[in-house]
Amino acid sequence: MRITGRTRLAGIMGWPVSHSRSPALHNFWLEQNGIDGAYVPLPVPPERLEQALRALPALGFRGCNLTIPHKRDALDIVDRVDPMARRVGAINTVIVAPDGSLEGRNTDIFGFRESLREAVPEWEPAAGSAVVLGAGGASRAVIAALVEERAPSVRLVNRTVGRAEAVARDLAAPQTDISVRPWSERAAALDGAALLVNTTSLGMSGEAALAIDLSALPREAIVMDIVYVPLETPLLATARQRGHRVVDGLGMLLHQGRPGFEAWFGTAVRATRELRAAILTTLVPR
Ligand code: ATR
């Protein structure tokens, strides 16, 4: 890396932030493209988020990513947010406009769609129902992408039904029927589905495996897990054995970074095999 008088800057704000793989991701792209830029971790406590975001233009930063616990609070601080990100209720990317104002985006929506398209190019959103497990921030981004792709039906399954009902209400759209199912009905919800996405933390290293009987899921269905440590979760291992096409969570992590990078550094980037391998080396199970 070469730091000159013209180095372009971006970073990630979180509290804590040291676990984030975004510096490895963005600095890989900077290096690969020979861009005079740097992407740095920015540890920012919640009470200083507004100050820190407002300082970006003054410090010459092109923008930043946001991680836990800032994704929701930042939505109310930035000057502009696209309507879908507002309905998701979170932003993970901030772009400093030429006039110094702040634009917020949710690139997890893009990340989910692109990683699924990359892994299964023939994915057809209208092929059948999608089953989404979980109702947190990641679930909202996944469902927003399915709504944007005009998926006809989403079955949303969550342990806390009220939380799922709030997601269904916030993301309601005429083209997509979002129905809520209790956790106890997760296996039955798979009947005839074309896509299953796990957005819960179950299956993550250090957590319990996701216990779900896949026998009602048609063999042609795609199974995706957004957990990426380990890369092959127990869910994906079982699905692979049953002959499903499986999509691991690393692709979503890589693709969600692209819109921010392109806006800050002015260069289009891709989630290559080489990038996957480089980021994989940073994924050490806890
Ligand atoms: P994120 O914002 O990353 O999606 P989150 O908001 O913490 O994360 O959401 C975690 C999801 O995993 C939730 O849907 C949670 O269910 P609840 O809404 O009922 O809390 C789900 N989850 C976590 N542990 C679970 C468990 N042991 N069994 C079932 N679901 C679980």
pLDDT at position 2, please? 75
pLDDT at position 286, please? 53
Which residues partner with 96 through β-bridges?
Answer: 102
Q: Name the residue of 67, 68, 200, 225 to mutate for ligand 1: max ligand atoms within 8 A of Cβ.
A: 200
User: With pLDDT > 90 as the criterion, what percentage of the chain qualifies?
Assistant: 97
Half-sphere exposure of 231 (CA within 13 A, CB side): 11
Protein residue with its CA nearest to atom 22 in ligand 1: 200
pLDDT at position 285, please? 61
201 in Cβ contact with 193 (< 8 Å) = no
pLDDT tens track for 55-103: 999 999 999 999 999 999 999 999 999 999 999 999 999 999 999 999 9
115 in Cβ contact with 123 (< 8 Å) = no
Q: Name the residue of 159, 170, 227 to mutate for ligand 1: max ligand atoms within 8 A of Cβ.
A: 159
Q: Scanning the structure block, which residue is given the tokens 């939505």?
A: 75
Helices (H), 89-211: 108-119, 137-148, 161-170
Look at strands 93-96 and 61-66 and give their pairing: antiparallel
pLDDT at position 256, please? 98
Q: Is residue 1 scored above 80 in pLDDT?
A: no
